[in-house]
Amino acid sequence: MKIESRIFEICTGFFFLAAIVYTVLSHEPVGIAALFLTAGLSLIIGTYFRFVSRRLEERPEDNPDAEVSDGAGDIGFFSPGSYWPIAVAGSTALFAIGLAFLYVWLMVIAMIVLLITIGGLVFEYHIRPADH
């Protein structure tokens, strides 16, 4: 997590510098506020990663002398041919269309479909306990 915290700390410095330059060159308050708030949020994330990295043991990503094989191992299970993510994206798009045109009936239908598709995605590989 040290690498991630370093990335966010560099982004924080860039956002603060950009906010200062933007403040000097432009007197537009919304952009100034947005840049300073972006820097602040980046600082919060970087600080969180820094605190978390102290509690975790060192990962291969944090060791500059690590080899690629040090990070080898089981990453997780990824479904090779699932159609549920497409269904989730479609129902989310349907909800967004309903929200854009303020069709409450479409948003309700899309939310129901979205909950069904999320359930399908989550429980796609769920196996029932064996009957004993």
Per-residue pLDDT of 32-78, as tens digits, reads 999 999 999 999 999 999 999 888 888 887 788 888 888 787 777 77
Structure tokens at 99: 């929200």
Question: Is 120 a residue whose pLDDT tops 80?
Answer: yes
Q: How many CB atoms lie within 10 A of CB 19?
A: 20
Quick one: 19 and 52 in the same domain? yes
Quickly list H helices, 26-128: 29-55, 84-100, 104-122
Is pLDDT of 2 > 90?
no
For residue 12, what is the enclosing H or E element? helix 2-25
- Based on the fold, state whether residues 51 and 88 are members of the same structural domain: no
Statement: residue 96 has pLDDT above 80: yes
Q: What is the pLDDT of residue 62?
A: 78
Q: Which residues form the domain of 96?
A: 84-122
Q: Is residue 42 part of a domain?
A: yes
Q: Note the pLDDT tens digit of each residue in 75-88.
A: 777 788 889 999 99
Q: b vs e for 20-52, b when ≥16 Cβ sit within 10 Å of the residue's Cβ? A: eebeeeeeeeeeeeebbebbeebbebbeebbee
* 70 occurs within a structural domain: no
Higher-pLDDT residue of 129 and 59 is 59
Domain co-membership, 10 together with 53 = yes
Nearest to 10 by CA among 39, 52, 37: 39
The answer to whether residue 100 is domain-embedded is: yes
How far apart CA 36 and CA 23 sit, in angstroms, is 10
- If one counts the domains in the chain, the total is 2
